[in-house]
Structure 1
Amino acid sequence: MHYALAPRTFLFSHYFYTGLRIATGIVGLTWLTYAISDLPTAMAVSIGALCTSLMDLPSPLRHKFNEMLAGVLACSLVALLVSLSSPVPWLLRTVIVLVTFLASMMVVYGRKAMPLQFVALFVMMLSTGAAATPLQALRHGALFFAGGAGYMAYAMVVVWILQRRLKQQVLAEALYELATYTSIKAGCYDMAMPLPAQMEKLVRQQSALAERQQASRDLVLRGKPTPNETILVQVHYAMLDLYELVLSTHTDYALLRQHFAHGPVLPLLGDLVGKAAQDIESVAYATTRNRPSQQEIDYTDELRALDQLLHELPPGVGEAAEAQAVLRGACNKIGDVIVAIAQMHAASQAPHGALPVAASVDPTPFLTQQRYSLGILFANLRWSSPTFRYALRVAMAISVGLMSSEWLPYKSHGYWTALTIAVVLKPTYSMTRQRREDRLVGTAIGCLLTAVILHFVHAPAVLFGFLFVATAAGPTFLNIKYRYTAVAASMQALLLIGLTVPHSTGVIGARLLDTLVGTVIATFFSFVLPNWEYQNLPKLVDAVLDANRKYIDAAAELLLKRPGDDFHYRISRKRFMDNLASLSAALGRMLDEPADKQRAPAELNRFTVQNYLLVAHMAALRLLLQRYAENLPRAEVDAALTATFAQVRDSLGAVPQADATAPGGHSKWIAHWPGWAPLQRRLRLLQQDAAQVALSRDAIGIALGRARRQEAVSKDDARIA
């Protein structure tokens, strides 16, 4: 379950704060306008505030200002154009199609542009109601702009005042995701959980963790921290160091399971890692409450029992001895993780300014840059662009939705059908399918709850209280449980009608029918000009391989002590993990598509897991060399690393580097250095997994090629028929 859905953490999450801020702003502006004007004016202002609030997302202040300003200006222009064209039916239809297409093209700029697309469609639907004179259209546009600008000013002031609080909450969310990631690691020691399934969970959680860590970077590390933000920066860096340690704990789980399956040592290791996950969560919990975290988890009994078990192990021979060495290495790494968590607790307790707050390199390259170029938009105005086809799909679907409303027995809320289409029809079939189910179920529940409320409650003040709760709940659950948002949106619309038009009848039934019609239309058009995930797979696989090669090169340079710092290594790793997360997300979406549109799912899953393991091996190698730095035989270690990286590059299809022909010193045993055996074992695992990446890549190519041939044969058969 998402941490923000748990009662213990919900009220302190940034999701709840965002919902409360939005509801207060919208309702406050509406009441203020109503106090000095009439109800229609207040409703027009509230619509502008409501539309602008949809752009009120956790972002750096400068980004938030740009995003909300773009929303206010674009949506005010849309409201004005639609209102001016409303007296002329053919012109109105033309404007609707044009606005829908252009708004949908906005998704070419990524996920952060999707709210702007919906907001533009939302205000377009609300402005199609009644024909207006030019003067009325100008007044409507001005009131919409006033509401949007007023809400924007309110939101910017509130976020500026509470920006430290927001940073705390976003940092805590990254820590919660790290705790979940660590908890999945604990399952690798549980014999009841299949190891391949745990690896798949780790890859999926890695994607979520990377996204939350990026959000934390963007807020916590951007700009010069104020004195009271020093601790947040320090905890953030401690979190990144801890993540590297947790990543490095990957070991030969299969070997451990084979030799220690029936003993107490694996459950003990699982308990230790599980406690570490709870310990990380306690830091996140304290961070959301603006408190220093105290280490309440006690590892003493488990560590003492583990130490005793290690001392009681009988001398091993051959593979048994190797399994014991792997076990001891795993215990050492888990101990390092426990120490790092203690350091993170200490970082949260340090007085302001007592700890260093800046890394040795500029964090700017790690931060998200806001770039919206018209060139990107124009480059996608072509038939082969998935965004272009999506924009055409939405324009056609909404046009059909608006026409269908003319055939219904009522017309006062016909825009609900088109609004449902805008909510449900998304760029991918997977997202459309999920939104469709959530919208249907959420609307049905919302209508039922509203019917009960309106039947038993008639006092406007009480109804207004329910409206406030619904207004707050909508944005609160938007990104964590959309079904709840659908419930809140239906209640918000119906309660607003109940307050402004108390004797309206049949509104709830109309809402249900409009939602059903809109969902059917959206479902039909999800198959029109579709963009199936398998069409992008070759490009995504190539991007992962290219990023992987660059990451291997950066890791080789770091481990061979060539660069002065680890900046290039961290940048390369981030890019590699971003590409791997994109492929993993595409695979997850493809599995939600029809069975005949799925290509090589098993091969892709194996490919993502094996690539993830390469990152874990690199992190482990780095920490291994740090652990055994004393008396390190530099020449022999460099030769072993050089030879191994040459083989890894060859497996990944990279061009061998000039030093790849260095003698393979890894075959010579260095008895006097205790790190030699674990180094050899880790290098062997690295080579094996790199070879598996290559095999998986080839298997994906074969599977996709076979699917293309079958598809071509099917098309030929259809033409002949």
Structure 2
Amino acid sequence: MHYALSPRTFFFSHYFYTGLRIATGVVGIALLATLAFGERIGVAVAFGALCNSLMDLPSPLKHKFNEMLTSVLLCSAIALVSSLCAPHPWLLVPLAGLVGFITSMLVVFGRKAMPLQFAALFTMMQTGSNPTGGEHAVATSLLFFAGGFSYMLYSLAVSWWLRERIKQQVLAESLYALAAYLRIKAGFYDARRDLGTQFTRLVRQQTTLAERQQASRDLILRVAPAQRDTLLVRAHYAMLDVYELALAMHPDYALLRKHVSDGDLLMAFGRLAGLLADDLENVAFAMAQNRLPAPPPDRGPELDRIEAQARQATDAGRSTPAADYALRVTIVKLRELLRAVERLHRPGSGASIPEPPAIQDAWAPFLSRQRYEWRILVSEIRLGSPTFRYAIRVAVGISFALALSRVLPYATHGYWIALTVAVILKPNYSMTRRRRNDRVIGTLVGSVLTALILKVVHAPLALLGMLFIATAAAPAFLNIRYLYTAIAASAQVLLLIGLTTPEASHAMLERLLDTGVGVLIAGVFTYVLPSWEYEDIPRQADRVLAANRGYIAAWRKLLLDEDADDFAYRVARKRFMDSIAGLGNALQRMQDEPENKRYALMELDRFVVQNYLVVAHCAAIRLIMHRHPAPPENGLPAAMIERIARGLAGQLGTAQEALRAPEARLRAADASAAREDGTEETSDAARAWTGYRLLQQRARQLASDADVITGVSAAIGSVFRQAGVAVGAARDSRPG
């Protein structure tokens, strides 16, 4: 379950704070404007505030200012044009299509453009549904601007005041995601659980974790941190160190299951990993509450008992050498993970955590790129672009909805049908399907619930309080459970009608009918110029292989001391994890699509897991080199790392060729290079270095996993070529 869906943690999350901030701002501006200038002006000003509140997202203040100012200027212009067109209803049909197309094209700049798209469409529908003259149109747009601009100033002021709290809450969300990741890893020690199912769950959580960590980086590192933010930066780095250690544990699960027959011992490992996940959640909860976490429970004795239990099994002859090796490695890694979690409880004393750099640009490789350039937008105006096809789909769907509403036999609200289409139609089929289901259920539940409330409660003050709650709940749940947002939005509209026009008892039925019509239209237009996930998945797989090769190169330089620090390594690891998250997301979305649009599901799942395993093995080797330093004169470790890196680079390059071309074959030189470390070393250098056997074992496993990647890459390439999809490296223009 998402942490913010638990009452214990929801009220300290940035989701709750966002909902409370939006509701307070919108309702407060509406009340002030109504008290000062009357109800008509108050409603117009409140509408501007409500539309601009859709862009009120956790962002650095500079970015928030740019985003919200763009929203208020664009929506004010749309309000003016649509108000002028309102006396001529049929003009709104092409206008809706034009606004829908332009704002949907903006989605090419990323997910932050999606609230702007809806705000623009919402503005056009609402202002276009109230016919006015020219002078009234100008007045309406000015009042709209006043409300939107006032809300922007309010939001910036509150966000500046709570800037440290927002950073804490976003970082806490990353820690909750990391705790969930570690909890899934704990399940690997339970031999009763299917290993493949656990891998699938882990990869999905990895996708979520990558998104949460990126949000944390963007907020904490985007602007050069002030002195008071140093603890947050150090906590962020400590979190990444915990993640690195958890990642390094991954390759040992199959080994433990194969060689350790003592189920109780394996379950003890799992229980300890689960307790460490609890400790991470405690840190997250304390950070979200703006307090220091309590000292963690001492997990050392628990690990000591596990180690003693393993030693007894060895002494009694119930354990094999392979099992002893697996147990020793796991115990050492768990001990290091335990210490890393302890450091996270006190990041202020973590000397190993780097200080914030003196210049802002030093963080740039870790941050999401914010590029809003016309040439990017223009380059997507082509039929092959998924963004362009999505924009056409939205434009035609909304225009059709408005046109149909003019001829329906009942007293329809055309804007609500069109807005339903805008809400449901998303850049991909999976999101559209989920939104459609949530919208139908949410509208039904919200309408019935609100009808019951209006039947029982008649006091205006009580209804105003419920309207405030609905206004806060709608944005609070938008990104975690849209079903709740749909319920709150329905309640919000009907409560507002109940407060302003109590005699409109038919509003609930009309809303249900309009929603039903909008859902049907959106369902039909989902198949107009669709973009299916399988069309881009081969290129995403190619990016994963390229990112993995980049990670191997940075890993080699770090271990051979060619880099002064681990900065480049961390950047390369982030890029690989982002590529894996992107492919994992696409794979999940493809599973929601029609059966005849799903290709190579098993092969892709194996591909993701094996690439993930390669990086996990490399992280484990980094720990081996740290725990078993060799004398400076012993050149064996460096030579082995060089051979492993060269072999992996060759195998991953071959995998890319196998993905792109059916005639690709393993290059003999690369294959042999990857296996050089499988030979036995009997030199004095090997005997003198305690890490030799451990590194040799990892080298064999790496070569084996890389071989699997090559084979499964060839299978994926073959499947998609048969489906008529060009396989190769290319830019990604898919929205959302």
- TM-score range for the pair, normalised by the shorter chain length: over 0.9
Rate the CA distance shift 1:512–1:261 in 2: closer, same or farther, 3 A.
farther
Q: 2:356 aligns with which of 351, 358, 362?
A: 358
1:31 and 2:31 equivalent?
yes
Q: 1:672 aligns with which of 659, 666, 688?
A: 688
Distance (Å, rounded) in 1 between the aligned partners of 2:721 and 2:318: 43
- Corresponding residue number in structure 2 for 1:491: 491
Distance (Å, rounded) in 2 between the aligned partners of 1:76 and 1:634: 71
- Corresponding residue number in structure 1 for 2:712: 696
Superposed displacement of residue 596, structure 1: 0.7
Superposed displacement of residue 583, structure 1: 0.8
Instruction: Classify the secondary structure of the residue corresponding to 2:87.
Output: coil
Instruction: Classify the secondary structure of the residue corresponding to 1:117.
Output: helix
Distance (Å, rounded) in 2 between the aligned partners of 1:137 and 1:634: 81
- Corresponding residue number in structure 1 for 2:302: 302
Give, as a single letter, the amino acid of the residue that structure 1 aligns with 2:332.
Answer: N
- Corresponding residue number in structure 2 for 1:415: 415
Give, as a single letter, the amino acid of the residue that structure 1 aligns with 2:266.
Answer: L
- Corresponding residue number in structure 2 for 1:505: 505
Distance (Å, rounded) in 2 between the aligned partners of 1:498 and 1:279: 48
- Corresponding residue number in structure 1 for 2:367: 367
- Corresponding residue number in structure 1 for 2:55: 55
Answer whether contact 2:104 2:117 (CA < 8 A) is retained.
yes
1:681 and 2:736 equivalent?
no
1:705 and 2:726 equivalent?
no
- Corresponding residue number in structure 2 for 1:321: 321
Rate the CA distance shift 1:132–1:588 in 2: closer, same or farther, 3 A.
same
Give, as a single letter, the amino acid of the residue that structure 1 aligns with 2:25.
Answer: G
Distance (Å, rounded) in 2 between the aligned partners of 1:354 and 1:224: 20
Answer whether contact 1:232 1:348 (CA < 8 A) is retained.
no
- Corresponding residue number in structure 2 for 1:130: 130
Query: 1:163-219: CA deviations, max 9, x gaps?
Result: 000011001001111111111110110112111111111111111111111111112
**TM-score, normalised via structure 2 length:** 0.92
Distance (Å, rounded) in 2 between the aligned partners of 1:497 and 1:650: 67
Superposed displacement of residue 412, structure 1: 6.0
Distance (Å, rounded) in 1 between the aligned partners of 2:37 and 2:358: 57
Answer whether contact 1:636 1:666 (CA < 8 A) is retained.
no
Superposed displacement of residue 480, structure 1: 0.3
Rate the CA distance shift 1:107–1:143 in 2: closer, same or farther, 3 A.
same
260-269 or 414-423: which moved more? Answer: 260-269
Rate the CA distance shift 1:531–1:558 in 2: closer, same or farther, 3 A.
same
Superposed displacement of residue 54, structure 1: 0.5
Distance (Å, rounded) in 1 between the aligned partners of 2:227 and 2:551: 36
Query: 1:106-130: CA deviations, max 9, x gaps?
Result: 1111111111111111111112213
Superposed displacement of residue 227, structure 1: 3.5
Distance (Å, rounded) in 1 between the aligned partners of 2:316 and 2:170: 48
- Corresponding residue number in structure 1 for 2:182: 182
Answer whether contact 2:647 2:673 (CA < 8 A) is retained.
no
- Corresponding residue number in structure 1 for 2:664: none
Answer whether contact 1:251 1:330 (CA < 8 A) is retained.
no
- Corresponding residue number in structure 2 for 1:84: 84
Distance (Å, rounded) in 2 between the aligned partners of 1:446 and 1:128: 26
- Corresponding residue number in structure 2 for 1:287: 287
Give, as a single letter, the amino acid of the residue that structure 2 aligns with 1:8.
Answer: R
625-634 or 253-262: which moved more? Answer: 625-634
563-572 or 453-462: which moved more? Answer: 563-572
Rate the CA distance shift 1:316–1:99 in 2: closer, same or farther, 3 A.
farther
- Corresponding residue number in structure 2 for 1:9: 9
220-229 or 594-603: which moved more? Answer: 220-229
Distance (Å, rounded) in 1 between the aligned partners of 2:75 and 2:158: 22
Give, as a single letter, the amino acid of the residue that structure 2 aligns with 1:532.
Answer: W
Distance (Å, rounded) in 2 between the aligned partners of 1:389 and 1:478: 25
Distance (Å, rounded) in 2 between the aligned partners of 1:223 and 1:532: 37
Residues 184-583 of structure 1 mapped to structure 2, 5 A cutoff: 184-314=184-314, 320-347=320-347, 357-358=355-356, 362-411=362-411, 413-583=413-583
Answer whether contact 2:551 2:569 (CA < 8 A) is retained.
yes
Superposed displacement of residue 339, structure 1: 0.5
Give, as a single letter, the amino acid of the residue that structure 1 aligns with 2:306.
Answer: L
Rate the CA distance shift 1:131–1:263 in 2: closer, same or farther, 3 A.
closer
Superposed displacement of residue 239, structure 1: 1.0
Answer whether contact 2:674 2:703 (CA < 8 A) is retained.
no
- Corresponding residue number in structure 2 for 1:714: none
Answer whether contact 2:251 2:613 (CA < 8 A) is retained.
no
Superposed displacement of residue 408, structure 1: 3.1
Query: 1:464-485: CA deviations, max 9, x gaps?
Result: 0110000000000000000000
**TM-score, normalised via structure 1 length:** 0.94
Answer whether contact 1:251 1:326 (CA < 8 A) is retained.
no
Instruction: Classify the secondary structure of the residue corresponding to 1:127.
Output: helix
Answer whether contact 2:646 2:674 (CA < 8 A) is retained.
no
Distance (Å, rounded) in 1 between the aligned partners of 2:651 and 2:226: 48
Distance (Å, rounded) in 2 between the aligned partners of 1:264 and 1:480: 37
1:613 and 2:613 equivalent?
yes
Give, as a single letter, the amino acid of the residue that structure 1 aligns with 2:277.
Answer: A
638-647 or 31-40: which moved more? Answer: 638-647
Aligned-residue CA RMSD (Å): 2.3
Give, as a single letter, the amino acid of the residue that structure 1 aligns with 2:436.
Answer: R
Answer whether contact 1:292 1:348 (CA < 8 A) is retained.
no
- Corresponding residue number in structure 1 for 2:728: none
- Corresponding residue number in structure 2 for 1:598: 598
Distance (Å, rounded) in 1 between the aligned partners of 2:515 and 2:286: 42
Superposed displacement of residue 438, structure 1: 0.4
Answer whether contact 1:470 1:492 (CA < 8 A) is retained.
yes
Answer whether contact 2:677 2:699 (CA < 8 A) is retained.
no
Superposed displacement of residue 349, structure 1: 7.8
Superposed displacement of residue 614, structure 1: 1.4
Rate the CA distance shift 1:661–1:262 in 2: closer, same or farther, 3 A.
closer
- Corresponding residue number in structure 1 for 2:660: none
Distance (Å, rounded) in 2 between the aligned partners of 1:664 and 1:455: 79
Query: 1:312-333: CA deviations, max 9, x gaps?
Result: 1337999931232122101100
- Corresponding residue number in structure 1 for 2:731: none
Question: Please, which runs of 5 or more residues in structure 2 have no aligned partner?
Answer: 658-666, 726-736
Give, as a single letter, the amino acid of the residue that structure 1 aligns with 2:97.
Answer: V
Give, as a single letter, the amino acid of the residue that structure 1 aligns with 2:457.
Answer: V
Answer whether contact 1:639 1:663 (CA < 8 A) is retained.
no
Query: 1:641-689: CA deviations, max 9, x gaps?
Result: 222222212221269999x979946631422322111111111111111
Answer whether contact 1:380 1:387 (CA < 8 A) is retained.
yes
Superposed displacement of residue 567, structure 1: 2.0
Distance (Å, rounded) in 2 between the aligned partners of 1:159 and 1:480: 21
Instruction: Classify the secondary structure of the residue corresponding to 1:653.
Output: helix
Distance (Å, rounded) in 2 between the aligned partners of 1:373 and 1:552: 33
Rate the CA distance shift 1:684–1:631 in 2: closer, same or farther, 3 A.
same
Percent identity over paired residues: 50
Query: 1:324-369: CA deviations, max 9, x gaps?
Result: 212210110010010111111122689xx99863269922221223
Distance (Å, rounded) in 2 between the aligned partners of 1:481 and 1:608: 27
Answer whether contact 1:393 1:529 (CA < 8 A) is retained.
yes
Superposed displacement of residue 94, structure 1: 2.2
Answer whether contact 1:640 1:666 (CA < 8 A) is retained.
no
Query: 1:396-428: CA deviations, max 9, x gaps?
Result: 111111122223344462211111001001010
Distance (Å, rounded) in 2 between the aligned partners of 1:354 and 1:626: 14
Instruction: Classify the secondary structure of the residue corresponding to 2:124.
Output: helix
Give, as a single letter, the amino acid of the residue that structure 2 aligns with 1:451.
Answer: A
Distance (Å, rounded) in 2 between the aligned partners of 1:360 and 1:189: 43
Distance (Å, rounded) in 2 between the aligned partners of 1:360 and 1:277: 33
Give, as a single letter, the amino acid of the residue that structure 1 aligns with 2:117.
Answer: Q
Instruction: Classify the secondary structure of the residue corresponding to 2:320.
Output: helix
Superposed displacement of residue 254, structure 1: 1.9
Give, as a single letter, the amino acid of the residue that structure 2 aligns with 1:698.
Answer: A
Query: 1:532-581: CA deviations, max 9, x gaps?
Result: 10011121111111112222122122222212222222222211111111
Give, as a single letter, the amino acid of the residue that structure 1 aligns with 2:704.
Answer: Q
Instruction: Classify the secondary structure of the residue corresponding to 1:479.
Output: coil
Rate the CA distance shift 1:119–1:213 in 2: closer, same or farther, 3 A.
same
